[in-house]
Every structure is written in structure tokens, then in C-alpha cells.
Amino acid sequence: MAKKTYDLLFKLLLIGDSGVGKTCILFRFSDDQFTSTFISTIGIDFKIKTVELRGKKIKLQIWDTAGQERFHTITTSYYRGSMGIMLVYDITNEKSFENIVKWLRNIDEHANEDVEKMILGNKCDMPDKRIVSQDRGEAIAREHGIRFMETSAKANVNIERAFCELAEAILDKTSGQNTTENAERVIVDHRGQDKQPAYKGCRCAVE
């Protein structure tokens, strides 16, 4: 038996319409690579990554789901055990943004009440093709009191940061020190445009 190499285990789930880049986000985070040639996810996929937060080794067990309606009966069974859910849309695809509401309803129906949520507007490396403005993303996040970030799996913008902030929010909750004030719940990030160095809030180590 392998000995326990982590202090905490967090289960995360990626959901959102088909083709918004869920698998690419996860691949960027777990393997620090990008490829545009992913085959479509059927059912569910799975990756592990260990991060270090406030001196604790946290093992992230991340489930990547198929986006299409057909797979919902299979994928919704994973909501229940998840401690954090990332809801992804594609900033170049209006429909995927409109469906955020539908996905949020799914979370309400199937996930634990206190699950930590985060909305990601992916593909922010494609300003020419942008259809959903950052303001609209921020607005919907504020309306539901959820964290929000624009990301790019391709250009590696905010990917690690998103996972670590979600993990941190779960950590706050599990250790009972809920220091996050409501006013700060919506975290608006403009680094995507400014090309600042990657987020250094947590140390990530590939398992």
C-alpha cells in the first residue's frame, strides 16, 4: 500500500457546454500542456494533482464531464460528492454563456448545498472572436454570488489560479475559518489582458 502522501483530499468537478474547453483547462492544469486536438469526452474523465496551500498538501481529484445533454444522467451522479464545481463557458460562444443558468440549476438540483462554485469564461486568448464581454461574465457571477475569472487554457492564463482559489475556498470552509467576506466573493481579474506572471498563490506539484 502506498503511504498517505497528502493531508486533504478535495473532489472537484468541471461542467459546461460541449466544446468550451473543459478538458483543455484540466490538461493545462495537470500536465501544463495544451493541445487543440482533444477527442470529445464521453461520460467522465479523471485527473489528479497535488497542490500545497498554507503548508498543507492537498490532493485534488478532478472529474471532467461530457457536456452534451445526453450524458447528464451519468454526469449528474458526480455532483453529489463534489466539494467544488467549475462551470465553464466559452467567451466566443454566446449559447454556452446563456446555458450558465441551466448549469447552475443543475448544481442546485444535484450538488451539495455548500458546494463551492466558480464560473470560468474560457478562450480569452481570442479577443477577435469574443462575443461575451467580460462585464457580462462578471454580472452573472455577481448575481449568483459566485467567483469568476476569464481563462485561457491555450495561453495559460489564470488556470492554476482558478484551481488554487477554488481549493482555497474549500479549505476555508473545511477548517471553519471563513474569512472570505461577501463583498470579495466576486473576484474580477484583468491579468488576462495585462500578461502578468502566473498566479503564485499556491505551489502546485504534479503527482
Partner 1 sequence: MSLYKARVKAFEDLLGNDEISLEKLRKLCFNGSMIMWVLSLISCLQFSFAGIPDTNGFRSLCWKLLLGYLTPKRAEWSVLLKTKRDLYRQLINEMVIPPCSNNDNQCSDHPLSDGPESAWSTFFKDNEFLLQIDKDVRRLCPDISFFQQATEFPNLDIANSKGVRRLHTRVMPSILSSANVERKGLGLTKISLLTKRAPENYEAMEEGQEAHWEVVQRILFLYAKLNPGQGYVQGMNEIIGPIYYIFASDPIVDYREFAEADCFFCFTALMSEIRDFFIKTLDESEGGIKQKMTKLSILLKEKDLEVWNRLRDQELYPQYYSFRWLTLMLSQEFPLPDVCRIWDSVFADENRFKFLVDVCCAMIILLREQILENDFASNMKLLQNFPEIDINVLLTKAAAL
- Least distance CB 72 / partner 1 (angstroms): 7
Distance CA 93, CA 207 (A): 34
Q: Helix crossing, 134-144 with 100-110: angle to 10°?
A: 30
Please pick, from the candidates 31, 32, 46, 101, the single residue that binds partner 1 as defined by CB under 8 A: 46
DSSP one-letter string for 79-131: TTT-SEEEEEEETT-HHHHHTHHHHHHHHHHHS-TT-EEEEEEE-TT-GGG--
- Residue 1 or residue 183: which is nearer to partner 1 going by CB? 1
State which residue, 121 or 199, has the beta carbon closest to partner 1. Answer: 121
Q: Which of 2, 178, 183, 205 binds partner 1 (CB under 8 A)?
A: 2
- Here's the x/- map for partner 1, 66-85, by CB under 8 A: it reads as x-xxxxxxx--x--------
Interaction between residue 38 and partner 1 (CB under 8 A):
yes
Q: How far is the CB of 173 from partner 1 (least distance, A)?
A: 23
Between helix 159-174 and helix 22-31 the angle, nearest 10°, is: 80
